[in-house]
Structure 1
Amino acid sequence: MTLTELRYIVAVARERHFGRAAEACFVSQPTLSVAIKKLEEELDLKLFERGASEVSVTPLGEAIVRQAQSVLEQAAAIKEIAKRGKDPLNGALRLGIIYTIGPYLLPELVKHAIEKTPQMPLMLQENFTVKLLDMLRTGELDCAIMAEPFPDTGLAIAPLYDEPFVVAVPIRHALAQRQRISADELKKETMLLLGTGHCFRDHVLEVCPEFARFSSDAEGIRKSFEGSSLETIKHMVASGMGVTVVPQLSMPRDPQPHVAYIPFEEPVPTRRVVLAWRRSFTRYEAIAALRNAVYACELKGAQRLTP
């Protein structure tokens, strides 16, 4: 059994495809297939079920892949320990971030990271929470910035900030001149939501649960419309299609000609943004440096949660 063989089975488990796994490992598919077959013979069990279009991991294979990932991380930790003796912050940090945080935090975060730790470039991956959690588990990412709650995966978690929500309405809407809006008042409106898969969609439905499905009242059928990103939804609001709820940091810095942003009445709904990483990740100084770069950001309207 070799580290190379362990890398191969982790890649196949991640890609669910021998060809893509071979490409990810920079080897030919026959080389990868032969190595995995040799490992299966050595262990005297089948790690993968080969289907017509996709490869699945057997139940015992799942446990072995998890152990293989742990072994690979421990092997990589040996090199990291050696590096830390020279420069603890040397080398790229693979950072994941969810779609509803990335566009609003990254411009300033990257600037501060470059200023504070130029020797630690950020390799960025923007994705859904569930995908980022999977990439953390398989070692494709070192850490991720996400919003709670998410499934307990045994990750180490450091809170970064609490971010309030605000209501976005068309500038000519009756609510546009209000100082504050209650969640109950939104029940009468056409709500614009992010599509399925975005955790912020779930956050909005916690505030306005009646929009989880089509509903009806005396005025007829109300529907919720979906958009692919917060920026797309803001354009839909500007065009008069409805109203939406957005996180505070996504608000434009300058007044907008077609959209008004109104705070919620107390209690104001919020989300907690956290930094998560595998407990086996050994670059503690890199995590601390990234947190400091986040805290150096303006985070206007959000409440910093420093240690």
Structure 2
Amino acid sequence: MTLTELRYIVAVARERHFGRAAEACFVSQPTLSVAIKKLEEELDVKIFERGATEVSVTPLGEDIVRQAQSVIEQAGAIKEIAKRGKDPLAGALRLGIIYTIGPYLLPELVKAVIDRYPQMPLMLQENFTVKLLEMLRVGELDCAIMAEPFPDTGLAIAPLYDEPFVIAAPTTHPFASRDRISAQELKNETMLLLGTGHCFRDQVLEVCPEFARFSSDAEGIRKSFEGSSLETIKHMVASGMGVTVVPALSVPKEPQPHLRFVPFEEPVPTRRVVLAWRRTFTRYEAIAALRNAVYDCQLGSVTRLS
């Protein structure tokens, strides 16, 4: 049994395809297939079920793949320990971030990291929460910035900040002249929402549960529209298609010609943004450095947490 063989089975479990796994490992498919067959024969177990179009992991294989990932991480930790003796922050940090945080935090965060920790470049991955959690689990990411709640996966978590929600309306809408708006008033509006998969969509539906049913009937076509990004939805709002709810960091610093952002009345809905990482991740100094860099960012509309 070798680390290379363990990396191969982790890749196949992730890709569910021998060809894609071989590409990810930079080897030919026959080389990967032969190595996995050799490992299965050595262990005298079947790790994968080979189907016509997809590869699945057997129940016992799931346990083996999970242990293989742990072994690979521990082997990598030996190199990290050696690096930490020279410079604890040396080397890239693989950071995941959800779509509704990335565009608004990263410009400040990347600058702060470059200024304070030039020896620790950030390798960035934007994605949905569920995908980032999976990438953390299999070791493709070192840490991720996400919004709670998300499934308990045994990750270590450090709170970063609480971010209030804000209502976005076209300047021609009656809301545009208001100082504050209650969540109850939104139930009579045409609401623009992010598409399925975005955790911020679910958080908005907690504030405005009346819109949860609109995606499944004809009335929903008139009452609720979906967009692929917050910026797309803002353009739809500006054109007069309806109103939406956005996180405070997404509000532009300069006034917008066709958009008005109005705070909620108390109690103001918020989301908690956290930094998450595997408990087995050994670069504790890098995690602390990233948190300090977030705290260095000019985030005037949020409440920082220690």
Range into which the TM-score falls when normalised by the shorter chain = over 0.9
1:121 aligns with 121
1:245-281 CA deviation, whole Å, 9 max, x = no partner?
0000000000001010000000000000000000000
Runs of 4 or more consecutive aligned structure 1 residues displaced over 6 Å after TM superposition = none
Q: What residue identity is the alignment partner of 2:198?
A: H
1:185 aligns with 185
1:270-300 CA deviation, whole Å, 9 max, x = no partner?
0000000000000000000000000000112
Larger deviation, residues 292-301 vs 123-132: 292-301
1:146 aligns with 146
Aligned 8 A contact 2:163 2:270 in 1: yes
- In the alignment, the residues of structure 2 paired with residue 36 and residue 264 of structure 1 have an alpha-carbon distance, to the nearest angstrom, of 57
1:95 aligns with 95
2:173 aligns with 173
Change over 3 Å in CA distance of 1:221–1:102 after alignment to 2: closer
1:82 aligns with 82
Post-superposition offset of 1:49? 1.0
Aligned 8 A contact 2:181 2:263 in 1: yes
1:292 aligns with 292
Post-superposition offset of 1:142? 0.2
SS at match of 2:174: coil
- Does 1:65 find its partner at 2:43? no
Post-superposition offset of 1:51? 1.4
Post-superposition offset of 1:222? 4.8
Post-superposition offset of 1:152? 0.1
1:132 aligns with 132
- Does 1:160 find its partner at 2:160? yes
Post-superposition offset of 1:220? 11
- In the alignment, the residues of structure 2 paired with residue 223 and residue 31 of structure 1 have an alpha-carbon distance, to the nearest angstrom, of 55
SS at match of 1:5: helix
- In the alignment, the residues of structure 2 paired with residue 220 and residue 22 of structure 1 have an alpha-carbon distance, to the nearest angstrom, of 45
- In the alignment, the residues of structure 2 paired with residue 272 and residue 128 of structure 1 have an alpha-carbon distance, to the nearest angstrom, of 16
2:275 aligns with 275
- In the alignment, the residues of structure 2 paired with residue 117 and residue 19 of structure 1 have an alpha-carbon distance, to the nearest angstrom, of 38
- In the alignment, the residues of structure 2 paired with residue 69 and residue 243 of structure 1 have an alpha-carbon distance, to the nearest angstrom, of 45
SS at match of 1:33: helix
- TM superposition score normalised by structure 1: 0.97
1:35-94 CA deviation, whole Å, 9 max, x = no partner?
000011111111111112211111111111000000000000001000000000000000
- RMSD of the TM alignment (CA)? 1.4
1:82-112 CA deviation, whole Å, 9 max, x = no partner?
0000000000000000000000000000000
1:116-159 CA deviation, whole Å, 9 max, x = no partner?
00000000000000000000000000000000000000000000
- In the alignment, the residues of structure 2 paired with residue 51 and residue 161 of structure 1 have an alpha-carbon distance, to the nearest angstrom, of 46
Counting only pairs closer than 5 Å after superposition, residues 235-246 of structure 1 correspond to structure 2 as: 235-246=235-246
Q: What residue identity is the alignment partner of 1:137?
A: R
Size of the aligned set, in residue pairs, is: 304
Structure (1/2) with the larger helix percentage: 2
- In the alignment, the residues of structure 2 paired with residue 241 and residue 31 of structure 1 have an alpha-carbon distance, to the nearest angstrom, of 55
SS at match of 1:214: helix
2:12 aligns with 12
Change over 3 Å in CA distance of 1:197–1:221 after alignment to 2: closer
- TM superposition score normalised by structure 2: 0.97
- In the alignment, the residues of structure 1 paired with residue 125 and residue 63 of structure 2 have an alpha-carbon distance, to the nearest angstrom, of 27
Runs of at least 5 residues in structure 1 that lack an aligned partner in the other structure: none
2:23 aligns with 23
- Does 1:33 find its partner at 2:15? no
Residue identity over aligned pairs, in percent, reads 86
Post-superposition offset of 1:214? 2.0
Larger deviation, residues 163-172 vs 206-215: 206-215
SS at match of 1:154: coil
- In the alignment, the residues of structure 2 paired with residue 152 and residue 220 of structure 1 have an alpha-carbon distance, to the nearest angstrom, of 33
SS at match of 1:176: helix
1:266 aligns with 266
Post-superposition offset of 1:223? 2.0
- In the alignment, the residues of structure 2 paired with residue 211 and residue 49 of structure 1 have an alpha-carbon distance, to the nearest angstrom, of 42
Runs of at least 5 residues in structure 2 that lack an aligned partner in the other structure: none
SS at match of 2:40: helix
SS at match of 2:49: strand
